[in-house]
Amino acid sequence: MADRRIVTITLNPAVDRVLEAPGFAVGKHVRGRRVALYPAGKGINVSRVLALLGVRSIATGFVGQGELAMFEEHLEEIGGNQVICQLLIVRARTRDNVTIVDPIDDTETHIRDEGFEVQPEDVARIASKLALLANEDTLMIFGGSLPPGVSPGAFAHMVDRCGERGAQIVVDTSVPALVDLREAGAWMLKLNREELAAMSELPTETEDQVLKASRSLLQRGKGRFGHVLATMGADGAMLIGSNIGFRGRVGVHPGRIVSTVGCGDCMVAGVVAGHMRSGDWKTAMREGLAVATAGAVERKAGFVSLDDVEEFREAAIVEPIGA
């Protein structure tokens, strides 16, 4: 996988606004200040983190006409020319995601907009774009929720079409889009406990249940699913494939955790970067855990410090899972 081209796909991007409001309370007038304003969305976050790790990617998907320049400038600046921005414009405004941080009560409130409505011609345009990018030398990472106008069936068709053209597919999406993927398949599914339960129709409350549910997906998929990357919050993560199995976690003081928003995107970027460079799944798992934990100690979602990555790489514990 070392020489593969990486493409991230974000169909429902966002502009993340982080506000600090001491003493925040619903229904009250509270003075606050803007802490951060930056482009986001799962695929955008993955491209940004890959760039910080020194890995090039193409970022495509949709973006509102008024926000294109903002996304292009941000990815060019933060990525150090590691990200090629090929987003397609839609005639609507990119959604806002607002995070309100209360430093007094140590709480975060997240307000998520639904997103712009995509027209049938937009769906056709992105499907054609992805078909042109997909080939045997490409790894395609589909990240994030679906905007209004993109049905789960249409999404599954995009994924299936790219896979048929030889691309390796990684999918990290929301529950509504997952069910139709049972027939499409993917090289890797990144799932949290809720998503894994919905996809496998099995309980995922304990680690043993997560393992059983992950393996059931590989068996049900009849070869359509190659790997399951199951994230379990503070309990770490599992990486399950037909011939591999690892569980791992990073021990970190809870007081250092600032926000877990975007940690899944960091995990995907770390695993992909680690496997691309080493070809070894244990190394990839360690890198994913390190990058995800580095994301958790940052206020802005989908950002990491390389010093933190190095620290948590040394602290990560990765163990094989028996048959």
Active site amino acids: 265
Could you list the beta-strand ranges (E) of 136-261: 138-143, 168-172, 186-192, 225-231, 237-241, 245-250
Please spell the DSSP secondary structure of 16-37, one letter per residue.
EEEEE-TT--TTS----EEEEE
| Separation between Cα atoms, residue 225 and residue 181, nearest integer Å | 10
Strands 107-112, 33-40: pairing is unpaired
What tokens were used for 267?
């995990």
Place of tokens 């590691």: 82
Taking the alpha carbons of 123, 82, 1, 279 in that order, is the dihedral positive or negative?
Answer: negative
- Residue 70, classified by CB atoms within 10 Å of its CB into exposed (0-12), middle (13-18) or buried (19+), is middle
The answer to whether residues 83 and 113 touch, using CB atoms and an 8 Å cutoff, is no
| Separation between Cα atoms, residue 18 and residue 21, nearest integer Å | 10
Within 8 A by CB and 6+ apart from 272, the residues are: 6, 46, 50, 55, 139, 141, 170, 284
